[in-house]
Amino acid sequence: MRPPTDRLRHVAWLGVRTRDFAYGVHGLTPPADPFRVELRAPSGDLWRYGPEDAEQRVTGSALDFCLLVTQRAHRTGLALHAEGPDADRWLGIAQAFAGPPGGGRPPKESAS
């Protein structure tokens, strides 16, 4: 796997912008309240989306957020945190690509 770079910003932005789309393709009404998303870039920079005072928040690794919204990894193995029930729900259905809802990735089995 190639080392992640800050070019992930484009995928992260798309993931944030497609929040309402993800709700819609799952037959759900998008929440009216705004979300705050704060992601730590590979360079260490902090990428911020949405109003600072939003109660629904997602924070964590930009790489992990991008893996989630492109459904390349299951949420349970990622360094992402949701504050608020709507933010938590979104992380379960996030999808930054067109088409019907994807099935996502199964969680990785832990090594015992």
Environment class of 109 (CB within 10 Å of its CB; exposed 0-12, middle 13-18, buried 19+): exposed
Residues 67-104: pLDDT tens digits? Answer: 999 999 999 989 999 999 999 999 999 999 877 776 66
In the predicted model, is pLDDT for residue 26 greater than 70?
yes
Q: What does residue 65 show for φ and ψ, rounded to 5 degrees?
A: -60, -45
Environment class of 38 (CB within 10 Å of its CB; exposed 0-12, middle 13-18, buried 19+): middle
In the predicted model, is pLDDT for residue 106 greater than 70?
no
Tell me the fold of 6-93.
Answer: Nonspecific Lipid-transfer Protein; Chain A (3.30.1050)
User: Which candidate, 38, 42, 50, places its Cα nearest to that of 81?
Assistant: 38
Query: Quick one: pLDDT at residue 38?
Result: 99
Domain range annotation of the chain? 6-93
